[in-house]
Structure 1
Amino acid sequence: MLPYLRHHRGTLVAVGVLSLFAAGASLVQPVLVRDVLDRVTDHRAVAGPVVLLVALLLVGAALRAVRDYLLQRTGEGVVLTTRRRLARHLLMLPIAEYDRRRTGDLLSRVGADTTLLRVVVTSGMFEIVTGVVMVAGALIAMAVLDPALLAVALVALLVGMAVAISASRRTRGLSEQAQARLGEMTSAVERAISAARTIRASRAEEREATAVARGAEEAYAAGMRLARLEAIVGPVSDTAIQGAFLLVLGVGGVRVASGAISVGSLVAFILFLFFLAMPLGQALHAYRQLQTGLGALQRIEEILEVPVETAGDSTRTQQESVPRSVAVAFDRVSFRYPGESPVLHDVSFEVPRGNRIALVGPSGAGKSTVLALIERFYEVSGGRILVDGIDVREMPRSALRARLGYVEQEAPVLAGTLRDNLLLTAPAATDTELLAALAEVNLSGLVERSPKGLDVQVGEGGVLLSGGERQRLAIARTLLTNAPILLLDEPTSNLDARNEAALRDAIASAATRRTLIVVAHRLSTVVDSDRIVVIDEGRVVAAGPHAELLDESPLYRELATHQLLVS
């Protein structure tokens, strides 16, 4: 926890000082009570000690109030700092991490797990520290008042506390299990909500509800294991404290009757025992809270220890480059996803600057992977990719991606307004530029059909737009970057014939100013490309213009025939 508390050192020092003074004010009170009782017995004035006792009560309460506020503020600060750090880290993880992890579990770590860190600060460490001070002071005072009674009290307390502490050691592991099950349940809920329309249309509500319920039951079972452990610890510690009080009362009464100690000393001893037992109980509770929080911290640290996507600077010697007239070049590139079979095998092709190149082939051939490798979402397994004559591994990722405009196949639209989505890639763009980008992809109607204009809501994931509108909005967003190289993955897959023709014209217009690499299933959208690269089973099997490929590539001719481009 120490790195999380580093920025709160000053406040924590103040809390420590306040805790010490509050503990001191409490420890003086039994002495004043004994003095009051002895004065009453001896028929002496008690006004002075009573006033001082009341003052100490009020001062102690005020000190504890300020301390608790500072602790709460520190706890909230730790949660805020951790969420900021974790969110930034999550957004910079390698793309492969998103492929293998569930979104709901990551959300649970940012939400539920970070919340538990507050408990560590507010109910964990300082209760233990304050408890140590109170226990030490009470033990010293009790030893001075009556060592025999102290021995009797300690026997009962230590036996009970040993059992409780032994059981509490399992709390962290059980807490981590409970948080993991909660993350799995959150993932199930996130999965169901994100695909609500598909689930409803498939009449799969009950099956998905059962899956979520199963996750909730597993989280419940993990929580119950933790609850059973805590249910044992609490009564054991309470029994030890009650037993100690009963023994002290019994033995103390005998010693008062024999004249070994006074009534005032017995009352003071019992108050000190209270100040001893209460912090012990609080410290034990704080220990359990601390273990719970550290279990959550373990899950947070697991994510923070995952290396983020680096800037991409390299110390490797620059390899010979292709001519600067070539915008993108693949040189015998091979690639496989972690734990999977190879996806690309010795892929080589060049994209001259200002040209429009299409990648075509059967589904699963590796076309979208080619674009992901250009963006350097993944590292190649072999060979090299050059952009503007430079190996992408020798180029900082930010500099590389500044040269690329990328529209992925799913064309995601962010929740918010039309303006929010467009400004994602060009935060300084003017309304005129935003409207021009929309017009370029035939989306001016979105602005015109609502009085809110650019501030019209698009809904969660763009649900208020049609599939074609979402795709064209993603393309408009990319056009605003003015990147010299544009990567389009299935740009017309969700468009009707009319909008496909309009977008094809927009792409043709963009191609006069940019280098385009387009992945397409519909060959009608790419027949006029400068060059078409045919990929099958991760290999380049043919390349050339449309007419040439019809004569020389059986696979391309088959694809064209199925799409009625040739008879």
Structure 2
Amino acid sequence: MRSLLPYLREHRGTLGVVAVLSLLGSLTTLAQPLLTRDVLDGLQAARPVGRTVALLVTVLAAVALLNALRDYLLQRTAEGLVLTARRRLTRHLLRLPIAEYDQRRTGDLLSRVGADTTLLRAVVTSGLFETVTGAVMVLGAAGAMLLLDPVLFLTAGGGLALGLSIAVVFSRRVRPASQEAQARIGDMTSAVERALTAARTIRASNAEQREAATVEAGAEEAYRAGVRIAKLQALVGPASVAAIQGAFLLLLGVGGARVANGTISVGDLVAFVLYLFFLVMPLGQALHAYTQLQTGLGALQRMHDILDVPAEQDAGTAAVTSGPVAVAFDGVTFAYAGAAQPVVRDVSFAVAYGTRTALVGPSGAGKSTLLQLVERFYDVTDGTVRVAGVDVRDLPRQVLRAQLGYVEQEAPVLAGTLRDNLRLAAPAATDAQMLEVLDAVNLADVVDRAPEGLGAQVGEGGVLLSGGERQRLAIARTLLAAPPILLLDEPTSNLDARNEVALRQAIDTVAHNRTMIVVAHRLSTVVDADQIVVMEGGRVVATGRHADLLETSDLYRELATNQLLVA
């Protein structure tokens, strides 16, 4: 409940109005049995009842109007609360440390943003306020019943109290069951996300049935968890109904006897029965609302499991300075969380401004990891990474990343248009600038063949583009931002010879007066580098230029000779 308060506080003004409307609606509702009693007693005594009937009709209309306005404001507030939760959760998800994405499943995170936040709507509409307004009605009706006839009140109250106690016991078990159900939905969503993401690979492997079985197994787990909640909620209803029916039958018997002996009037008995209904209906709603509240709070707990994970901290205050060295690694060692061995060990080398450094070595040597350490996707375990002479941990992340242009090895493309993708790193870029950079990486034909031009859709993950086109678009996106330092992770891995030459020319053009660190696997990318760093087993085993390394490094010579570096 404490976690819920910040969400409610944002809407406290509207919720205050809703509370007032609920109180007024409850009071006018509680007046109806008394007015009904006056009408019956007046008719029995042959007194005029026109004014009382008019007042009763007015009260009924007022209750309908108050409740309609209250429900609208409550629904609007609930939608606003869901919007606030989704904004908060989405912003936090996008700022989680990269290591968290390594450990969590995308589908489960999507479930928390979609399904879990939706359940918060019920916390407000069917949970919190129905519980509160139901309590007001119950207390008001109970007080009126006590004043009308204490004997009948005790007669009806005993049965209701028993049913209420049983219902509350079962309702308390709903929250942990709800958390379990939402976790199973997250598992199922993860399985669906995995299957859809790799749809082509799955079909090419004739694995549709196996993947469908995996998704269905997750769906069955979610089903079983949902059934457990349904059982708990179903037990609440019969207990309530049995208590209500028993209390009503007992009330009719005892009340009829008291009318017969003249203790109370027929109007008093009718008013008492109406108050019993006014007590029972909100009591049933309150019990249902309580279970909804438990379900919503279970979903809120899952959200806060993510929100409580510290986001990337941006506490650095240093500024980028000028100097002869753009990037420097000084005794850098890094191990992933939970890993037994470091992937980078005591790495030291410097990259001068305006030069090109190529990182080469066997797969798993730690080349890509070094680029991610520069970006501060991870922080070093030991040693220091410096950009412009400043420890990257002392720089605000936005300041650091504004100096860097990073093209990942997988060259991801976002769903949307060519323009959307290009403006990701350069939101102020003009169409002319975008067309120029696309031409530089030999992608002008993609624009020419689409009637929409830069508005052409690229599909989910760039599926409407070829592998080479996706990679060139990712590179164009980085080149458009024109940062002073470029980090390229195997930029030509998916390109044919013709497009590789075009891309190398584009990189050569934009690399003028810029610093480049390139993870390379083709000899053509390496031979012109100002510095080549050879890595093996997470260590630097040689540095130098191409001709020198052919003479001094057995590993480099082997890579070149065996075409692991492709000419």
The SS at the match of 1:342 is coil
Matched, 1:277 2:280: yes
Residue identity in the other structure for 1:423:
R
Matched, 1:434 2:415: no
Please list the CA deviations of residues 23-49 of structure 1 after superposition, one character each: whole Å capped at 9, or x if unmatched: 011111111111111111111112111
The SS at the match of 1:259 is coil
Provide the C-alpha distance between the structure 1 equivalents of 2:205 and 2:523, rounded to a whole number of angstroms. Answer: 32
The SS at the match of 2:46 is coil
Q: Which residue of 2 aligns with 1:204?
A: 207
Please list the CA deviations of residues 195-254 of structure 1 after superposition, one character each: whole Å capped at 9, or x if unmatched: 111111111111110100011000001001111111111111111111111110111111
Q: Which residue of 2 aligns with 1:184?
A: 187
Equivalence map 1:1-80=2 (5 Å) = 1-80=4-83
The SS at the match of 2:326 is strand
User: Please, which moves more after superposition, 304-313 or 216-225?
Assistant: 304-313
Percent of residue pairs bearing the same amino acid type? 68
Equivalence map 1:297-446=2 (5 Å) = 297-313=300-316, 324-340=323-339, 341-446=341-446
Distance 1:322 1:272, change over 3 A: closer
Checking the alignment, whether the CA contact within 8 Å between 2:522 and 2:566 is kept in structure 1 is no
Residue identity in the other structure for 1:277:
V
Checking the alignment, whether the CA contact within 8 Å between 2:521 and 2:564 is kept in structure 1 is no
Distance 1:363 1:431, change over 3 A: same
The SS at the match of 1:513 is coil
Provide the C-alpha distance between the structure 1 equivalents of 2:122 and 2:562, rounded to a whole number of angstroms. Answer: 64
Checking the alignment, whether the CA contact within 8 Å between 1:8 and 1:74 is kept in structure 2 is yes
Provide the C-alpha distance between the structure 2 equivalents of 1:438 and 1:323, rounded to a whole number of angstroms. Answer: 31
Give the C-alpha shift of residue 513 in structure 1: 2.7
Checking the alignment, whether the CA contact within 8 Å between 2:421 and 2:477 is kept in structure 1 is yes
Equivalence map 1:239-278=2 (5 Å) = 239-278=242-281
Matched, 1:106 2:109: yes
Give the C-alpha shift of residue 143 in structure 1: 1.0
Provide the C-alpha distance between the structure 1 equivalents of 2:517 and 2:372, rounded to a whole number of angstroms. Answer: 12
Which of 220, 228, 240 lines up with 1:217 in the alignment?
220
Give the C-alpha shift of residue 323 in structure 1: 8.8
Checking the alignment, whether the CA contact within 8 Å between 2:522 and 2:565 is kept in structure 1 is no
Residue identity in the other structure for 1:346:
D
Matched, 1:471 2:471: yes
Matched, 1:155 2:158: yes
**TM-score calculated relative to the size of structure 2:** 0.97
Distance 1:380 1:57, change over 3 A: same
Checking the alignment, whether the CA contact within 8 Å between 1:104 and 1:183 is kept in structure 2 is yes
Aligned residue pairs total 563
The SS at the match of 1:328 is strand
Provide the C-alpha distance between the structure 2 equivalents of 1:246 and 1:368, rounded to a whole number of angstroms. Answer: 77
Equivalence map 1:445-484=2 (5 Å) = 445-484=445-484
Give the C-alpha shift of residue 466 in structure 1: 0.6
Please list the CA deviations of residues 331-365 of structure 1 after superposition, one character each: whole Å capped at 9, or x if unmatched: 00000110012111100011011111000111111
Provide the C-alpha distance between the structure 1 equivalents of 2:216 and 2:94, rounded to a whole number of angstroms. Answer: 30
Residue identity in the other structure for 1:410:
E
Give the C-alpha shift of residue 562 in structure 1: 1.0
Provide the C-alpha distance between the structure 2 equivalents of 1:504 and 1:26, rounded to a whole number of angstroms. Answer: 79
Residue identity in the other structure for 2:512:
T
Provide the C-alpha distance between the structure 2 equivalents of 1:63 and 1:115, rounded to a whole number of angstroms. Answer: 26
Give the C-alpha shift of residue 564 in structure 1: 7.8
Distance 1:4 1:271, change over 3 A: same
Checking the alignment, whether the CA contact within 8 Å between 1:322 and 1:329 is kept in structure 2 is no
Provide the C-alpha distance between the structure 2 equivalents of 1:93 and 1:204, rounded to a whole number of angstroms. Answer: 33
Checking the alignment, whether the CA contact within 8 Å between 2:156 and 2:247 is kept in structure 1 is yes
Give the C-alpha shift of residue 565 in structure 1: 7.2
Q: Which residue of 2 aligns with 1:539?
A: 539
Give the C-alpha shift of residue 526 in structure 1: 1.3
Checking the alignment, whether the CA contact within 8 Å between 2:438 and 2:444 is kept in structure 1 is yes
Give the C-alpha shift of residue 322 in structure 1: 11
Checking the alignment, whether the CA contact within 8 Å between 1:157 and 1:241 is kept in structure 2 is yes
Checking the alignment, whether the CA contact within 8 Å between 1:123 and 1:286 is kept in structure 2 is yes
Which of 271, 274, 287 lines up with 2:290 in the alignment?
287
The SS at the match of 2:385 is strand
Checking the alignment, whether the CA contact within 8 Å between 2:356 and 2:518 is kept in structure 1 is yes
Identify unmatched segments of 5+ residues in structure 1: none
Residue identity in the other structure for 1:111:
G
Distance 1:237 1:447, change over 3 A: same
Distance 1:339 1:82, change over 3 A: same
Give the C-alpha shift of residue 505 in structure 1: 2.0
Please list the CA deviations of residues 469-524 of structure 1 after superposition, one character each: whole Å capped at 9, or x if unmatched: 10011111000111010000010110111111221222222322311100012233
**TM-score calculated relative to the size of structure 1:** 0.97
Provide the C-alpha distance between the structure 2 equivalents of 1:421 and 1:323, rounded to a whole number of angstroms. Answer: 31
Matched, 1:166 2:174: no
Checking the alignment, whether the CA contact within 8 Å between 1:314 and 1:393 is kept in structure 2 is no
Q: Which residue of 2 aligns with 1:488?
A: 488
Matched, 1:141 2:141: no
Checking the alignment, whether the CA contact within 8 Å between 2:523 and 2:566 is kept in structure 1 is no
Provide the C-alpha distance between the structure 2 equivalents of 1:432 and 1:265, rounded to a whole number of angstroms. Answer: 84
Provide the C-alpha distance between the structure 1 equivalents of 2:450 and 2:302, rounded to a whole number of angstroms. Answer: 46
Q: Which residue of 2 aligns with 1:94?
A: 97
Moved over 3 A (4+): 564-567
Identify unmatched segments of 5+ residues in structure 2: none
Provide the C-alpha distance between the structure 2 equivalents of 1:417 and 1:347, rounded to a whole number of angstroms. Answer: 40
Provide the C-alpha distance between the structure 1 equivalents of 2:246 and 2:369, rounded to a whole number of angstroms. Answer: 70
Residue identity in the other structure for 1:335:
F
The SS at the match of 2:481 is coil
RMSD: 1.6
Provide the C-alpha distance between the structure 2 equivalents of 1:339 and 1:502, rounded to a whole number of angstroms. Answer: 42
Please list the CA deviations of residues 263-306 of structure 1 after superposition, one character each: whole Å capped at 9, or x if unmatched: 11111111111111111111111100000000000011111111
Q: Which residue of 2 aligns with 1:524?
A: 524
Residue identity in the other structure for 1:545:
R
Provide the C-alpha distance between the structure 1 equivalents of 2:505 and 2:134, rounded to a whole number of angstroms. Answer: 75
Give the C-alpha shift of residue 314 in structure 1: 5.8
Residue identity in the other structure for 2:32:
Q
Provide the C-alpha distance between the structure 1 equivalents of 2:300 and 2:386, rounded to a whole number of angstroms. Answer: 42
Give the C-alpha shift of residue 132 in structure 1: 1.5
Provide the C-alpha distance between the structure 1 equivalents of 2:201 and 2:522, rounded to a whole number of angstroms. Answer: 25
